[in-house]
Structure 1
Amino acid sequence: MKQVDGEGLLARLGNGVKDVRGRMTPNAPMDRVTWFRAGGLAELMFQPHDVDDLSMFLKALPDDVPLTVIGVGSNLLVRDGGIKGVVLRLSAKGFGDVELVGENRIRAGAICPDKNIAAMALDNEIGGFAFYYGIPGSIGGAIRMNAGANGMETRERLVEVEAVDRKGNLLKISNADMGYSYRHSSPPEGVIFTHGIFEGFKDDKAKIRTEMDTVRHHRETVQPVKEKTGGSTFKNPPGHSAWKLIDEAGCRGLQIGGAQMSPLHCNFMINIGHASAYDLESLGETVRRRVHENSGILLDWEIKRLGDFMPGAEVKPFAPGQNH
């Protein structure tokens, strides 16, 4: 595996980070972090203790050092060559909280599991959050990706985002400034989400529980929840379901190396053994090509792919009209 120089980067930061309280791990293995259980090394992983600790670290981080922010690793594929610079992974202790902050309002840390907001809403008879019960991952990722399910999206519940910019300044970003669209946001460049404030509506507890049970039943029966997967692999094209297009192209169960499109839900890519990131990304691009050949529709990745390829093992993205 290609090596990164985490010790060298840590030495370069030197006294600038001597008062930081969070954990710094040079040459951190990303296959222990991502739900795919694949990928190379992060040159330096930093897990801040809290918001003030994060701000202090960012103020000391040189502008030329790349910074990559990840959540719990649920919607993420890290390439085998690893990630240069600093990988920021928020800690559950400092950023996993969830609390009531007003009538029908909930404040949640970026690393708070989506299902914890749904549970908090249920306990307090707040409607509008049952959809989160079926979304794997954390609130920071949901805010960034405008995560949604069962006809509801994050942008419909979000009021405001608390964030820190690359210089360590604390910010508040309104829903209107998030630039939301389907599975996409465009907040100010380089900001790191730390908390979100959400608003629902008063609702009947039994009704909310029924909605959550429906979401859970659907997820457990049609999704490979016990597999090493990153959730939905591709976005739904306008007017289409990605899984149907994949199925019609004959890609249900398709396998490359240790990577497979789930036989249960064919828009879920799974690691069935010791798949490399190369296997997984190659499979995804093969599916994109076959779907386009079959339907003329080009699928867009929903899984985020980060980092470098190993030399000689690059995956070329499919593009119509090119030879593959």
Structure 2
Amino acid sequence: MMAAAIRHDWRETLPAARGRVTFDAPLGASTWFRVGGAAEYLLRPQDDDDLARFLAALSPELPVTVIGAASNLIIRDGGIPGIVIRLARGFGDVAIEADGLVAGAAALDVTIADHAAAAGLGGLEFLSGIPGSLGGAIAMNAGAYGGEIRDVLDWAEIVGRDGSINRLSAADLALSYRHATLPPGGIVLRVRLFAHPDEPVAIAARMAAIKANREASQPIRARTGGSTFRNPDGHKAWQLIDQAGCRGMVIGDAQVSEKHCNFLINRGAATAADLEALGDAVRARVLAETGIELRWEIRRLGVKPGGAR
């Protein structure tokens, strides 16, 4: 449950929403790590207009956090204060066009790749190897298997904290390695991606190769959160972690994967604190052994028990 130190009673002043608003909503079970506390308030808006109106009327004093599929995320054990917004139904449609597609921010990356493949559109196969939803992929310029969002993005529609909706180009978002410059408080609503006609058999073969590579090299059937650290310039994070002797390292019930040591695993009873402590211990050992500082790729949100951030 939510830590008492960060609980505030805004229920009387929250704007009306057609979607669902839940107080003290558990989040841990919906994350890929299966850890973490509750959202002080959780909003599942019904559609773009519902979200825009809610944000426009929301007090600026109330913090807002957006989560998607929660695949590359640690929610701390003390929970997330303020409003957590999760896009689901109404934000996952995919529409095929002649030279690309338009998809809602809640559409899973693999679903987008599947839709494109079924329509004979190539260039989006790399998305089948990225866990998570499209909104998160835009926010961090996700990439894998030789492709990244900035290679295929036409535009993204984004709602601001003031409720305004604007369409921004890839250039507007200044996409770079694992980074996008969204407007302050901006939430991705939908996206248009470029693609090109290709033979469905060839597309399917490339996606099958990505799937086989992932299954062979990553702990995809474990409670994990994807790549933990960004690759430093000129280096691979997993190689640095291995070099520092961290493969298989354990804190509590959190472990550095034996299969791919840039992945952390919840062996069953880990807490968010275990996972974060393990990640920080890996960073410290890599810095001591190699002089290179690893930067988190996994987002860590919320507060620790007792209210510390």
- TM-score bracket for the superposition, by shorter chain length: over 0.9
Change (3 A) 1:207 1:4: farther
Q: Which residue is equivalent to 2:277? A: 282
Q: How does 1:162-311 map to 2 (within 5 A)?
A: 162-311=157-306
How many angstroms apart in 1 are the aligned matches of 2:191 and 2:4?
36
Please give the per-residue CA displacement for 1:5-50, whole angstroms capped at 9, x wherever unaligned: 768222232xx31xx2101110011212211111111100000011
How many angstroms apart in 2 are the aligned matches of 1:191 and 1:98?
21
Q: How does 1:66-215 map to 2 (within 5 A)?
A: 66-91=63-88, 93-100=89-96, 102-215=97-210
How many angstroms apart in 1 are the aligned matches of 2:221 and 2:40?
30
Q: Which residue is equivalent to 1:10? A: 11
How many angstroms apart in 2 are the aligned matches of 1:196 and 1:122?
18
Q: 1:178 deviation in Å? A: 0.5
Q: Which residue is equivalent to 1:58? A: 55
Contact 2:141 2:178 in 1 (8 A): yes
How many angstroms apart in 2 are the aligned matches of 1:26 and 1:32?
16
Contact 2:222 2:265 in 1 (8 A): yes
How many angstroms apart in 2 are the aligned matches of 1:188 and 1:24?
25
SS in 1 for 2:205: helix
How many angstroms apart in 1 are the aligned matches of 2:93 and 2:8?
32
- Please report the TM-score for the alignment, with normalisation by the length of structure 2: 0.96
SS in 2 for 1:74: coil
Change (3 A) 1:281 1:5: closer
Change (3 A) 1:232 1:151: same
Please give the per-residue CA displacement for 1:131-173, whole angstroms capped at 9, x wherever unaligned: 1111110000111111111111111001000111101111111
SS in 2 for 1:12: coil
Q: 1:120 deviation in Å? A: 1.2
Q: Which residue is equivalent to 1:35? A: 32
How many angstroms apart in 2 are the aligned matches of 1:56 and 1:185?
25
Which residue identity is paired with 1:99?
A
Matched, 1:44 2:32: no
- Please report the TM-score for the alignment, with normalisation by the length of structure 1: 0.92
How many angstroms apart in 2 are the aligned matches of 1:6 and 1:160?
38
How many angstroms apart in 2 are the aligned matches of 1:48 and 1:6?
22
User: Which of 18, 22, 26 is equivalent to 1:21?
Assistant: 18
SS in 2 for 1:240: coil
Please give the per-residue CA displacement for 1:176-199, whole angstroms capped at 9, x wherever unaligned: 001111011112211110111000
Contact 1:160 1:173 in 2 (8 A): yes
Q: Which residue is equivalent to 1:321? A: none
Identity, % of aligned pairs?
48
Contact 1:6 1:44 in 2 (8 A): no
Please give the per-residue CA displacement for 1:192-240, whole angstroms capped at 9, x wherever unaligned: 1011100011222211111100000011111111111110000111111
Where structure 2 has 5 or more consecutive residues not aligned to the other structure, the ranges are none
SS in 2 for 1:274: coil
Q: 1:311 deviation in Å? A: 2.9
Computed over aligned residues only, the root mean square deviation of the Cα atoms, in angstroms, reads 1.5
Q: Which residue is equivalent to 1:318? A: none
How many angstroms apart in 2 are the aligned matches of 1:253 and 1:296?
21
Q: 1:4 deviation in Å? A: 6.5
Where structure 1 has 5 or more consecutive residues not aligned to the other structure, the ranges are 316-324
Change (3 A) 1:274 1:205: same
How many angstroms apart in 2 are the aligned matches of 1:284 and 1:56?
39
How many angstroms apart in 2 are the aligned matches of 1:172 and 1:108?
14
Which residue identity is paired with 2:87?
L
